[in-house]
């Protein structure tokens, strides 16, 4: 009997363990199913989503075939100025005298916008990433390093960004190319394509040299969120000196989305340096500041106070040692996503997508989200750098990836790349922490020479 008892035990234990493993496996599958297959409140099958004609059009893979131009004769002056001729496509892109510059920065003739199309249905309401984008008055839009606010009250979108319509210069030999601060530009729209200039809603300080926003300083990446408790529109931005050593965030408020915003102060959040940054407002109205810190080597994230005017003391260090910047955060089916860039100044580099179940982390890196173009396009974020991600109305799992194609030779002529971003399908590679299961959906940014929203120019606000 005693012997028998001893004999039985391992089998029972084995059964128990396999039942337990089975249960965990089932729960995992159910969670995966729920994550991938339930869309907001409506349950739709992934088939429907992936094969819907709207999404199919956005997900069409478009190739690009840009090659290095043949070496050209250079004048002694050009050789003296730049002894080395460009040997890579990125160097060619950065060379203001490149023979293929028009491919990256097409001129005014190919500009697009409401004043250009004249009712031509082929181009009307189409985005042309990299071409000059005109506002309702026919002027190039000035909203670089921007962000988007959807305002429930006025049922409008507001696009805020750096108004850089000034002369590009270097404040010293080794300093980054810069434009004096002019302020934050604001544009409004009901369809995300037709943009009306609402003016400079936070302006530079012209005379007081001690002011954070004195024109010789730096104001970058402004983002605005609305606080429904206080009724204030709150702007967070990167403020710096010309050498990027102040490395702080600035805060401004307004009663209306179109300003004027009152500048409140700058600070070192959580006592740290802060350069590229963004703010993200969650469904429960808690807002977060996300910023590149510790000399751009670590990303910091922390909640804002209830009035959105300061940070709470708790902060988490994420992507430690990964040297990421230009963070853009978005959320889909209770998962948080972030797109970041590498740190190469105005020069383009590879984007990465990250995901997390809790916004405070842990965050995991999914890989490069860029699809289409060619290898060099994908490894340079299509020669651009992300700045914000906007949910695409009517397309569950659909977003617009907003990016800047910086033109360091003439910053005011930097271009916008808006491209469809789709969350769906299994991730490229299973992650270690999920026992080999692909925990996250794939995040894909699709290259298009031209594309349009499913709403096709109808008011969606």
Sites of contact with ligand GAL (CB under 6 A)? 145, 176, 220-221, 276, 325-326, 343, 345-346, 385
Toward ligand GAL, which CB reaches closer, 349 or 434? 349
Toward ligand GAL, which CB reaches closer, 345 or 394? 345
Work out how close the CB of 346 gets to ligand GAL at its nearest, in angstroms, rounded to a whole number.
Answer: 5
Toward ligand GAL, which CB reaches closer, 135 or 404? 404
Q: Are 164 and 152 in contact (CB under 8 A)?
A: no
Q: Could you give the C-alpha distances from 333 to 23, 32, 157, 330, in angstroms and in order?
A: 23, 11, 23, 10
Toward ligand GAL, which CB reaches closer, 175 or 313? 175
Work out how close the CB of 404 gets to ligand GAL at its nearest, in angstroms, rounded to a whole number.
Answer: 8
Q: Are 39 and 47 in contact (CB under 8 A)?
A: no
Work out how close the CB of 405 gets to ligand GAL at its nearest, in angstroms, rounded to a whole number.
Answer: 13
Work out how close the CB of 135 gets to ligand GAL at its nearest, in angstroms, rounded to a whole number.
Answer: 22
434 φ/ψ angles, rounded to the nearest 5 degrees: -115, 30
Work out how close the CB of 93 gets to ligand GAL at its nearest, in angstroms, rounded to a whole number.
Answer: 15
Q: Which residues on neighbouring strands pair with residue 81, listed in sequence order?
A: none
Work out how close the CB of 271 gets to ligand GAL at its nearest, in angstroms, rounded to a whole number.
Answer: 22
Toward ligand GAL, which CB reaches closer, 353 or 422? 353
Toward ligand GAL, which CB reaches closer, 215 or 221? 221
Toward ligand GAL, which CB reaches closer, 414 or 441? 414
Q: Could you give the C-alpha distances from 17 to 10, 21, 258, 410, 419, in angstroms and in order?
A: 10, 6, 62, 65, 48
Work out how close the CB of 53 gets to ligand GAL at its nearest, in angstroms, rounded to a whole number.
Answer: 36
Q: Are 102 and 413 in contact (CB under 8 A)?
A: no
**What is the Cα–Cα distance from 306 to 287, expressed in whole angstroms?**
8
**What is the Cα–Cα distance from 162 to 165, expressed in whole angstroms?**
9
Q: Are 280 and 266 in contact (CB under 8 A)?
A: no
If we measure between CA atoms, which residue out of 402, 405, 371 comes closest to residue 387? 402
**If you count them, how many residues does the chain have?**
461
Count CB-CB contacts under 10 A for residue 155. 11
Work out how close the CB of 217 gets to ligand GAL at its nearest, in angstroms, rounded to a whole number.
Answer: 12
Toward ligand GAL, which CB reaches closer, 247 or 370? 247
Give the pairing of strands 262-267 and 441-446. unpaired
Q: Which helix (H) or strand (E) holds 12?
A: helix 2-37
Q: Are 277 and 236 in contact (CB under 8 A)?
A: yes
Tokens read off for 206: 């012209």
* Residue 199, CA atoms < 13 Å, CB-side half-sphere: 9
């Amino acid at each position: 009997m005693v012997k028998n008892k001893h004999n039985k035990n391992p089998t029972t234990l084995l059964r128990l363990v396999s039942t337990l493993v089975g249960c965990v496996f089932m729960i995992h599958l159910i969670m995966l199913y729920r994550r991938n297959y339930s869309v907001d409140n409506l349950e739709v099958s992934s088939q429907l989503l992936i094969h819907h004609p709207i999404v199919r059009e956005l997900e069409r893979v478009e190739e690009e075939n840009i090659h290095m131009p043949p070496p050209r004769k250079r004048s002694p002056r050009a050789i003296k100025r730049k002894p080395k001729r460009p040997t890579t496509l990125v160097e060619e892109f950065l060379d203001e005298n490149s023979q293929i510059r028009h491919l990256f920065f097409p001129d005014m003739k190919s500009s697009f916008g409401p004043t250009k199309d004249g009712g031509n249905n082929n181009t009307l309401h189409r985005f042309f990433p990299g071409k000059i984008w005109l506002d309702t008055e026919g002027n190039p839009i000035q909203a670089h390093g921007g962000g988007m606010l959807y305002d429930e009250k006025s049922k409008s979108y507001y696009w805020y960004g750096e108004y850089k319509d000034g002369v590009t210069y270097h404040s010293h030999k080794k300093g980054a190319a810069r434009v004096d601060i002019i302020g934050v530009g604001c544009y409004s729209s009901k369809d995300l394509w037709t943009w009306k200039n609402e003016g400079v809603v936070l302006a530079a300080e012209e005379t007081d040299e001690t002011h954070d926003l004195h024109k010789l300083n730096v104001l970058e990446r402004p983002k605005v969120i609305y606080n429904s408790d206080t009724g204030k529109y709150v702007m967070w931005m990167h403020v710096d000196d010309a050498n990027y050593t102040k490395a702080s965030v600035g805060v401004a408020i307004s009663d209306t989305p179109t300003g004027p915003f009152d500048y409140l102060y700058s600070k070192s959040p959580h006592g740290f340096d802060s350069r590229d940054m963004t703010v993200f407002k969650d469904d429960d109205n808690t807002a977060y500041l996300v910023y590149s810190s510790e000399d751009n080597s670590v990303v910091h994230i922390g909640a804002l106070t209830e009035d959105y005017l300061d940070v709470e003391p708790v902060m988490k260090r994420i992507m430690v040692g990964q040297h990421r910047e230009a963070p853009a955060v978005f959320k889909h089916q209770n998962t948080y996503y972030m797109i970041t860039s590498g740190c190469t100044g105005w020069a383009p580099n590879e984007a990465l997508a990250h995901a997390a179940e809790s916004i405070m982390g842990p965050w995991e890196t999914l890989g490069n989200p860029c699809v289409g173009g060619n290898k060099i396009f994908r490894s340079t974020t299509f020669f651009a750098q992300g700045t914000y991600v906007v949910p695409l109305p009517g397309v569950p799992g659909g977003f617009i990836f907003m990016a800047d194609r910086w033109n360091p030779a003439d910053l005011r002529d930097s271009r916008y790349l808006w491209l469809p971003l789709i969350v769906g399908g299994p991730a490229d590679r299973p992650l270690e922490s999920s026992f080999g299961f692909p925990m996250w959906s794939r995040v894909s940014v699709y290259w298009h020479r031209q594309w349009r929203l499913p709403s096709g120019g109808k008011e969606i606000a």
